[in-house]
Amino acid sequence: MPVRRVVVGHNKEGKSVLISDGPAPAVRTNPLRPGHVSNDIWKTGPLPYPLHAVHEDPTLGPRQIHPPKGGTIIRIAEIGPESEEIRNMTPEKAREVFKAMGNEGASSFGRGGRHPMMHRTETIDYAICIEGEIVMLLDEGEVTLKAGDVLIQLGTNHAWSNRSGKVAKMLYVLIDGEFDEEMKGWFGGGGH
């Protein structure tokens, strides 16, 4: 699933220029989650983000499900139809999946999560369905998104379940957040 990424910036004279135009280099799959392909398009460190004439590609390096402290990630993911393997996953296996995505502690399956891919991070996520159909499961209830729908996720425990039989394509913008004191009392902090 190549995603074209165009990056523009500045040259040493301060003129706006094309920096790169090609497939996003940070394409990741997880053998523990068949049918899931993730493309990190860009990410930032703490805001305000320092703008330099020349940037190293921030998407390369270890996989992270969450943005850096104070930062952001924009990601496009393909989520294949949910398999029996995922539906029958143990809590231990679910934690392995999240460990491979860079945040084992985000997994909540076996600790109140009702689906193997249930997880929580201290983030605000903008989730846009750009192709297909997908269901977001919550602790109580669920919501179905179709192409063009936008969901704002405020640090909730959730899972994405593709019940459609076809690949769903999602665009996510993840923004670092922090639980307030009341929320930390409910389920602690450190979901990064």
The predicted structure's pLDDT at residue 144: 93
Question: Are 24 and 41 in contact, with CB atoms under 8 Å apart?
Answer: yes
Contacts of 8 (CB under 8 A, 6+ apart): 16, 17, 18, 19
Whether omega before 25 lies within 30 degrees of 0, making that bond cis, reads no
CATH homologous superfamily for 25-187?
Jelly Rolls (2.60.120.10)
Token pair 């491979």: residue: 100
The predicted structure's pLDDT at residue 191: 52
Tokens standing for 159? 């899972």
Counting every residue, how long is the chain? 192
CA-wise closest residue to 35 among 75, 64, 1: 1
- The angle subtended at Cα 175 by Cα 169 and Cα 177, nearest 5°, is 135
- For the chain of 192 residues, list the mean pLDDT of each consecutive stretch of 10: 76 76 88 87 84 78 86 93 92 92 87 87 90 91 89 87 96 91 73 52
The predicted structure's pLDDT at residue 156: 85
CA-wise closest residue to 69 among 47, 38, 84, 97: 47
